[in-house]
Structure 1
Amino acid sequence: MKRNMTFPTDEERRQLIDLLHAEGCSCVIRNGGATRIFRERGVKDLYRLLAEEPELLDGAFVADKVVGKGAAALMILGGVGDLHADVVSRPALELLAAAPVHVSYTLEVPYIVNRTRTGQCPVETLCRDCATAAEALPLIRRFIEGQR
């Protein structure tokens, strides 16, 4: 990957984070002059982008509502350069700390909860013991393929 590391200005970051909230989407990605919004739940959009459009992630700024360890792994593997998360899990932050990703967030939580709020997110659980982003990828792939 070539790693286009042109970070947005503080004002551009604020506008992209505001867009995340105004659109009610799951994530906003800006790379170069292109800004795109995504609406899938969980890690589906990030997984698809990594597989089909990795150039969009390479060096990108991502504004995301919820980032767990699985999403963090996919962003690391895609070469994301700058991330803002409304909510981020401690395991995601630990994984991101070893990567060249600039991270800001609003709220840190011990783990991401599942959609029914009865326990931990299944992808967060799957990736719990992964020491690297690369270790998480096959687990996430099996999870996504199992949902099809």
Structure 2
Amino acid sequence: MEDLKKALKKEQLTCIVSSCGHIYKEKNKGILPLLHFIEQGVLREGIVVDKVIGKAAAMLMIYGGVKKVHACMISEHALTMFRQHHIPISYDVLVPYIINRSGTGMCPMEESVLACEDIEEAYHILCKKAESMKKAG
């Protein structure tokens, strides 16, 4: 875990995953890297270090089958999800919620699953939300 944390900072990554003896790195922001990792099966039994984890990212990680997680920053909603699903979680900074990129409110991804407790339903909600945001440009 410590090596992954160091690599995240040194290489200015947003997310790094150790799974099945391989290391997977991402610099893209938001949930798209996690959706990509899910498609590839990378998260299954993986150890994840992520820069920012809101409830949306937490639910995707749980859906993908992560084994252990560290967040540089995590929302209270995400922390609750990991604890409910008995996923070992460590973090540097705990915040009430993840702020959107313009700094005007809650992250739209976290907001879209705020009332959702079902992991599979959240996955489908987030796939649709990511697709609609991609189309909107």
TM bucket by the smaller chain? over 0.9
Question: Cα deviations across residues 24-83 of structure 1 (Å, max 9, x unaligned)?
Answer: 111010013211211111000101221x211x1111000000000000011001100000
3-state SS of the aligned residue for 2:79?
helix
Question: Cα deviations across residues 90-133 of structure 1 (Å, max 9, x unaligned)?
Answer: 01111111213110001110000011111110001101101122
Where in structure 2 are there 5+ consecutive unaligned residues? none
Where in structure 1 are there 5+ consecutive unaligned residues? 1-12
Two-structure CA RMSD over aligned residues (Å): 1.0
Aligned length: 134
Answer whether contact 1:67 1:87 (CA < 8 A) is retained: yes
3-state SS of the aligned residue for 1:142?
helix
Q: Which runs of 4+ in 1 moved over 4 A?
A: none
TM-score normalised by structure 2 residue count? 0.93
Matched, 1:94 2:94: no
Partners in 1 of 2:130 and 2:18 — Cα distance?
24
State the percentage of identical aligned residues.
34
Paired position in structure 2 for 1:122? 108
Matched, 1:14 2:5: no
